Amino acid sequence: MAYKVTGILLCLFFFMATMSFAFLYEVEVLDSKAISKLSNEELADRYIDVLIELDASSTFHKVAGISPKEYQKYKKLLRYKVDLLSEIKKREMEIPSLNP
């Protein structure tokens, strides 16, 4: 009886763990030759995607229980932040701060 319960718990744990990793690391990794063929815009875009993926993944691992839907929303918000900062820098504006 104890072996069945242990087996069921292990299967449940494995299932939950594989579900959580299924949506992590969605960035396609290119080799050096493919990277060299990217345009400047594509290169910057892929770099931003990697930054977002790393930050979102780090946050996911720190905050247990985040759902795939919440993870995707967080990544979109990170992307929006980077896009806004890029535009602010392009216009040579001062970056607003929350702290006065």
Domain definitions of the chain by residue range: 25-100
Question: Between 26 and 48, whose confidence is greater?
Answer: 48
**Res. 5: pLDDT tops 70:** no
Residues of the chain with pLDDT > 70, as a percent, come to 71
The mean predicted confidence, pLDDT, of the chain is 76
Q: Is 65 left (phi over 0), alpha (psi -120 to 50) or beta?
A: left
Question: Between 74 and 9, whose confidence is greater?
Answer: 74
pLDDT at 100: 64
pLDDT tens column, 7-47: 676 655 555 544 444 445 577 888 888 888 888 888 888 88
1: pLDDT confidence band, cut at 50, 70 and 90?
low
Q: At what angle do helices 2-22 and 68-90 cross, to 10 degrees?
A: 20
For residue 21, give Cα distances in angstroms to 18, 24, 60, 71. Answer: 5, 5, 10, 11
Instruction: Please state the pTM of the whole predicted model.
Output: 0.54
Residue in the block written with tokens 């069921």: 8
Tell me the mean pLDDT in the region 66-84: 84
